Amino acid sequence: YLSAECIDAITAAYDGGTAGRVVFIRSLGGALGRVDPDATAFAHRSAQAMVVSAKFLPLDAPDELVSSARAEWQTIGRHGIGAYAGFLGSATDDDIAALWPAGTLARLRDVKQAWDPDNVFRRNFNVRP
């Protein structure tokens, strides 16, 4: 379920018909929530909904436009418990931290250290060994 504060943030972000943006809400729960969070790398299994908000920018968008788009998302994202890699548009340290709770990230780093200590596979939402 979405809190009233989250719904208000979504509404405010889209008030005025902002061009180049899209939002959708996916229902979660059910079988997804019955899997132990430690069983997979996707640990945000207590969430009842996923909110995806995107702003489409040109590849050569200036830094201030990118920062503005990220700031718009944060008005919504701060109401959540984490992030899903399939919908992230950046890979900052904060983004990586939002993908996995600390325990899950530690397990992923252990795997990365064991199987890819030289960080060859890094062109993704990189988990550093």
Q: Please state, in angstroms and rounded to a whole number, the distance separating the CA atoms of residues 111 and 102.
A: 14
pTM of the model: 0.75
Angle between helices 63-77 and 4-14 (to 10 degrees): 150
Contact 2, 51 (CB under 8 A): yes
Give the span between the Cα atoms of 115 and 43, in whole angstroms: 21
Please write the tens of the pLDDT for every residue from 31-90: 988 998 888 888 788 889 999 888 888 989 999 988 888 888 888 888 988 888 888 877
| DSSP-derived 3-state class of residue 115 | helix
Q: Are 79 and 93 in contact (CB under 8 A)?
A: no
